[in-house]
Amino acid sequence: MPIDKIFKDDASEEKGERARMASFIGAMAVADLVKSTLGPKGMDKILQSTGRGHSVTVTNDGATILKSLHIDNPAAKVLVDISKVQDDEVGDGTTSVVVLAGELLREAEKLVTSKIHPMTIIAGYRMAAECARDALLKRVIDNKENAEKFRSDLMKIAMTTLCSKILSQDKEHFAEMAVDAVFRLKGSTNLEAIQIIKKPGGSLRDSFLDEGFILDKKIGIGQPKRIENAKILVANTAMDTDKVKIYGARVRVDSMTKVAQIEGAEKEKMKDKVNKILAHGINCFVNRQLIYNFPEELFADAGVLAIEHADFEGIERLGLVTGGEIASTFDNPESVKLGHCKLIEEIMIGEDKLIHFSGVEMGQACSIVLRGASHHVLDEAERSLHDALCVLSQTVNDSRVLLGGGWPEMVMAKEVDELARKTAGKKSHAIEAFSRALVAIPTTIADNAGLDSAELVAQLRAEHHTEGCNAGIDVISGAVGDMEERGIYEAFKVKQAVLLSATEAAEMILRVDEIITCAPRRREDRM
């Protein structure tokens, strides 16, 4: 029996050179795919699913694009994963992280062909990444003490993040909204408290931030449309037991009157429950489940606004905002914490009616209402805004900022280059390669804007040899510009995450020397 029959028939394995080639090529293909979305002049991609309804997504967000691809190449999957993690961790920089990892592999491929062992390359990359991170740490700006400056930093970070997205036209408006919303969170990174409601119609400019809470529901029939100084009971309980449900209930009776009695008893039980709820002295009752017409009628008679089917997140948020707790039993009213707000009223957005709670106890939550021409625009606007909110909420905690526009990459590349000159041995080649890979990000930004990248990057490199230089690529004027004057800032946390994730992913793919694909499972013939 020949040696290579260890595996099943259909299993394939690739060894050594071929395996490494396969993984490099796959990873670089993925990097090139999202490369064109990088930077303020990056283009969008349309993703069309073949599933039901052929849903179409138009997006510029690296993580969203990669999430939707079904990739067969194992190395490419590693890149998809790092972009997902980047999205969850800091929200922005999903494209940069993939592009950087792809460039690191492209450089590594050249080194491997010139007979440098992958482990040597990895050791060099490790040193280079450390050095690059220290270079950034030396140049961070931190304005945490000065509130006004810090706010303007946040505004600039938000505008830089939104620059490459669909919202770039109204970026001041949206940056203002995002910064307000994040300041409301008072330093928590829980974005659940910011509710984003999408309503088609109007233009993106009509989007607004509301400090109250908006519930996407209509007010029931015959109930007060407007309540001032509301006391709200937020509940999760069944309010639909006043009728005997014909299906699923088995009752043995000898006459129809007995059924009527049972129904009567059920109704009484319901009435008791409603009275218990009313005993809390409330004038607004929000329930997560159904409320039938009978209890609804009872609530309306008592002048209480009853809202049914508030979706689950809605209800948790509502509890957060109004300071109430979610109750499911009503026997002891004194122990239930009620929510409060100044005014509940019905508002119209577009042609939908919504319920608006204003003057809420906790200023922590707010609602952002997005308007836009179509669902696709709204989805993309929500993704962009979400990116901005993530970055801002991270920056509020870790207030270090850097300049943007390819500036951090050039600073890192310069330091790494110097390290390469000092290092003896083969590692220095790998360190030099790392610096070349870093320069690929400003190069790509310039390429996407249709500028002469080689010329610009060479200029940048020359500029950066003077101390304390703020030069970066100014895509709008198409030249090298001062990033501080242009107000292009980025969060330190994002850059650090990009640098470290990309290096680790590249390392992981470099270590591969064999790919084994297992045989597909065959369906046995059942005949």
Supply the residues annotated as catalytic: 61, 94-95, 387
| Burial environment of residue 343 by CB neighbours within 10 A (0 to 12, 13 to 18, 19 or more) | middle
Output the CA torsion 350→352→358→361 (10° steps). Answer: -120
Candidates 503, 525, 509, 521; CA nearest to 129 is: 503
As a whole number of angstroms, the distance between CA 155 and CA 172 comes to 8
> Is the Cβ–Cβ distance between 430 and 120 less than 8 Å?
yes
- d(C-alpha 489, C-alpha 258), whole Å: 75
Phi-psi region of 406 (alpha: psi -120 to 50; beta: other; left: phi over 0): left
DSSP class of 476: T
> Roughly what angle, to the nearest 10 degrees, separates helices 147-163 and 171-184?
130
Residue 114 token pair: 């010139």
Helices (H), 279-328: 293-301, 312-322
CA distance 88 to 68: 16
Give the separation between CA 191 and CA 212, rounded to whole angstroms.
16
- What does the block give as tokens for 382? 């929500």
Six-digit token string for 324: 């109430």
| CA gap 193, 478 in Å, rounded | 40
Per the structure block, which two tokens stand in for 397? 């905690």
305, 227 Cβ separation under 8 angstroms: yes
Q: Is 51 helix (H, G, I), strand (E, B) or coil?
A: coil
CB-CB contact of 221 with 420 (8 Å): no
The rounded distance, in Å, linking the Cα atoms of 291 and 308 is: 6
β 400-403/489-491 pair status: antiparallel
Q: CA 499 to CA 494: how far, in whole Å?
A: 9
